Structure 1
Amino acid sequence: MTDRRRAILTGAARVIARRGVRGLRVADLAAEAGVSTALIYYHFKDRPGILRHALAFLGERADRYTATGEGEGEGMAAAGPSDPRHLLERTLLLEFQDLPEVRENSTAWGELRAHSVFDPELRDELAAAGAAWAAEIAGHLAELCPAAPRTAAMAAAERLTVLLEGLSGRWLSGLLPLEHARSLLREAIGLEIERLGSHPPVAN
């Protein structure tokens, strides 16, 4: 990705987080990114194109800070990279970091999700991103509970990711303290693992 393209998408994430999707105007985005409106249209063609690419950018940025463990010292216990329970918790709990980039990412994601109620094309993109994330979590759960059916692991992953989004919205809006949000999610992770672990082995 070129520096200018990255600057535009970083600016789009910031504007969406602060003003919502309806507040995203190309002229304001150009000022935020320090580029011309013509350059934005050159890279993204139109406003829907900006939104689609901004959504992908937010997903890639979240993948980076959950994969690298940025801010991992914040409420995360150290463990080896091969510990599947740790990998599962880290993937989910690193969405709860009191860092500007994480706050901005989660807020912009929520704004795009709310806007998708009125934008079927964006809804499809969000659904695909959500399904990929749930599949990643289901993979961690399946490694922890290999006897559980894949459908059960996927259902557990969907419950955990939906809970995370709800807790994140409450935390970001100041309705829930950060540590309490983390505690609730950890408890839910434990319950889902316990439930999956109670399944009898799958017959071959």
Structure 2
Amino acid sequence: MARVRLSVAERRDDLLRAAVGQIEARGVAALRISDVAAVLGVSNALVLYHFETKEKLVAAAFAHAARDDLARLHVLLGRRGTALARLRGAVRWYAPTGDAKGWTLWIEGWAAALREPALREPVRALDQRWKAALADVIAEGAAAGEFRCTDPSGAAWRLTALLDGLAVQMTSYAGALERDTMLRWLDEALAQELGLGPAHEPGPGPTEPDGP
């Protein structure tokens, strides 16, 4: 059976997905070009042809993962429904053990970015765009009178800081906190940021987008 010839874009996409999986499994420091090549049954030379160095491959892999997460976030935030429902869905999807890219990957990225300048931009850009997207929907809901928030950007910062901190704890120390407890804390934090009273009981919230 003849092998399917991939376009350059398709080959790069396959290599980046393989690299993301290997970073999650092995970590950035232990990752080798040969690990990525072995996943796809290709040569080390092919990986290096597309990315030149391990550092460039790793930076591109994080940028690729960031694009995937941001695309999913925009699907969630662009759905029909109230701003509050969309925010809850996005927060619960982003939360640890949700379907956002494996938290092991992003914790690896934060740690590696301290020492690898090439990683700082994709990791920082993802963080900024997450905050901006949440702030936009918070501002939308406040303008529509759904809730009160005079500082959407500050609210987005505080919510993502809480989510990131919980992610580090729950990923590093499995079983240290019940998911139901974490979700309750997130609902309480969201209610506080949006000036919601106890009458606004949170629903289960979507964890997987099913289209706008």
TM-score range, shorter chain: 0.7 to 0.9
Determine the structure 1 residue equivalent to 2:210.
none
Structure 1 residue 116: Cα displacement: 0.8
8 Å contact from structure 1 (residues 171, 181) kept in 2 = no
Q: Which one of the candidate residues 28, 45, 53 is aligned to 2:35? A: 28
CA distance in 2, matches of 1:177, 1:61: 27
Number of residue pairs matched? 181
Amino acid at match of 2:183: R
Structure 1 residue 178: Cα displacement: 2.2
SS in 1 for 2:23: helix
CA distance in 2, matches of 1:66, 1:33: 29
Amino acid at match of 1:182: L
* Runs of 4 or more consecutive aligned structure 1 residues displaced over 6 Å after TM superposition: none
Determine the structure 2 residue equivalent to 1:93.
92
1:132-147 equivalences in 2 (<5 Å): 132-146=129-143
Q: Cα RMSD between the aligned structures? A: 2.4
Structure 1 residue 170: Cα displacement: 2.2
Structure 1 residue 134: Cα displacement: 0.4
8 Å contact from structure 1 (residues 11, 29) kept in 2 = yes
Bigger radius of gyration, 1 or 2? 2
Q: Deviations over 1:18-73 (max 9, x none)?
A: 2211011101111123322112112212112112211111112223444456xxxx
Determine the structure 1 residue equivalent to 2:166.
167
Amino acid at match of 2:109: L
Determine the structure 2 residue equivalent to 1:9.
16
Is the counterpart of residue 109 in structure 1 residue 106 in structure 2? yes
SS in 2 for 1:2: helix
Q: In percent, how many aligned pairs have the same letter?
A: 29
Structure 1 residue 164: Cα displacement: 1.0
Residues 34 and 109 (structure 1), Cα distance of their counterparts in 2 relative to 1, 3 Å cut: farther
Determine the structure 1 residue equivalent to 2:64.
57
Is the counterpart of residue 194 in structure 1 residue 201 in structure 2? no
8 Å contact from structure 1 (residues 117, 123) kept in 2 = yes
**Structure with more relative contact order (C-alpha pairs < 8 Å, separation 6 or more):** 2
Provide structure 2 residue ranges, at least 5 long, that are not aligned to the other structure.
1-7, 197-212
Q: Deviations over 1:115-141 (max 9, x none)?
A: 111123322332222111100010011
Structure 1 residue 112: Cα displacement: 0.8
Determine the structure 2 residue equivalent to 1:39.
46
Quick check: which one's helix share is greater?
A: 1
SS in 1 for 2:195: helix
Determine the structure 1 residue equivalent to 2:156.
157
CA distance in 2, matches of 1:6, 1:60: 12
Q: Deviations over 1:122-164 (max 9, x none)?
A: 2233222211110001001111223755xx2111111111211
CA distance in 1, matches of 2:132, 2:158: 12
Amino acid at match of 2:9: T
Determine the structure 1 residue equivalent to 2:185.
184
CA distance in 2, matches of 1:96, 1:59: 16
CA distance in 2, matches of 1:104, 1:20: 15
